[in-house]
């Protein structure tokens, strides 16, 4: 469904049918998903500009719209990237596309099992856990139920990584939707293999407990915002007159919150 919203071709008839129902509820969903993808890319590039040279893209999904390794290498040609997903179709597809890549691998691991993912031989071959790493978990944790402790999952990733490591997270929300639209959206996803668990701004902020949130743009207070408004703490705000930040104009009420943080040194 995510690939469909992005205008990709790697989706099935059932995905398209469910996605069209979501579009009927929230016509701006395509813009929201595109803005989320741009947040993912901008956050990865910010980490690279900050000196990070190794990255973990958790729950990566099918390659689409400038993959992480392409984004970070615009800032650092020597960057290394590990993609992780628990979908065998995703991993097979990614490995085929990355066959000639020496500094990028795809591992078959579940986002909810940080220790197993970080112990994976492919991960250990590419990442040095004694050095800071960048973790990207975008549009993933709203498929994780409360009983699986999404905040705890983030804490486990960051505890295993060196101080100075950074993480970027985006998460679906119903804060700005009617109760009827929320219920119908959750019903659509409940009929798929991946039920959705939308969370509030305060719950998304709680995912970063123990970490240092960064400003969404240069001059802002550290915190959470919507993806279309996150430029990076070293960049001017999206509405900056110099036009240096390639962002989409937000359309409709925010259906995702996002933020980035670092593990204190």
With beta carbons less than 8 A apart as the criterion, state whether 245 and 196 touch: no
Q: What residues pair up with 259 in beta bridges, in sequence order? A: 169
pLDDT tens digit sequence for 229-243: 999 999 988 764 344
H helix or E strand, kind and range, residue 103: none
> What is the Cα–Cα distance from 222 to 62, expressed in whole angstroms?
31
* Pick among 3.30.230.10, 3.90.550.10, 3.10.20.30, 3.40.50.150: CATH of 2-262: 3.40.50.150
Cβ neighbour number for residue 9 with a 10 Å cutoff? 8
Q: 3-state DSSP call for residue 35?
A: helix
Closest CA to 198 of 212, 179, 214, 216: 179
How confident is the model at residue 194, as a pLDDT?
A: 78
Q: 3-state DSSP call for residue 257?
A: strand
Half-sphere exposure of 93 (CA within 13 A, CB side): 15
* Residue keyed to tokens 């970027």: 168
pLDDT tens digit sequence for 55-94: 999 998 866 667 899 999 999 999 999 999 998 888 887 8
| Residue 120 pLDDT grade (very low, low, confident, very high; cuts 50, 70, 90) | very high
What are the start-end ranges of the E strands in the chain?
Answer: 54-58, 80-85, 104-108, 134-138, 166-172, 212-213, 256-262
* Structure token digits, residue 228: 């279309």
């Amino acid at each position: 469904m995510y690939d469909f919203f992005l205008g990709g071709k790697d989706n099935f008839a059932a995905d398209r049918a469910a996605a069209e129902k979501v579009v009927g509820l929230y016509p701006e969903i395509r813009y929201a998903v595109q803005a989320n993808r741009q947040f993912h890319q901008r956050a990865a590039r910010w980490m690279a500009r900050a000196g990070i040279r190794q990255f973990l893209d958790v729950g990566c999904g099918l390659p689409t719209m400038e993959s992480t390794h392409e984004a970070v290498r615009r800032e650092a040609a020597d960057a290394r990237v590990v993609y992780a997903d628990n979908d065998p179709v995703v991993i097979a597809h990614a490995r085929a596309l990355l066959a000639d890549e020496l500094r990028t691998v795809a591992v078959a691991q579940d986002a909810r099992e940080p220790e197993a993912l970080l112990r994976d031989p492919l991960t250990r071959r590419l990442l040095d856990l004694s050095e800071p790493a960048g973790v990207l978990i975008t549009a993933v944790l709203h498929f994780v139920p409360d009983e699986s402790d999404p905040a705890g999952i983030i804490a486990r990733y960051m505890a295993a990584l060196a101080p100075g490591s950074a993480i970027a997270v985006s998460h679906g929300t119903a804060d700005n939707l009617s109760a009827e639209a929320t219920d119908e959206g959750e019903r659509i996803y409940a009929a798929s293999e991946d039920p959705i668990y939308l969370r509030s701004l305060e719950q998304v902020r709680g995912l970063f407990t123990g970490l240092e949130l960064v400003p969404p743009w240069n001059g802002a207070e550290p915190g959470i915002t919507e993806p279309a408004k996150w430029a990076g703490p070293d960049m001017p705000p999206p509405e900056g007159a110099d036009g240096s930040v390639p962002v989409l104009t937000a359309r409709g009420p925010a259906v995702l919150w996002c933020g980035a943080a670092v593990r204190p040194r």
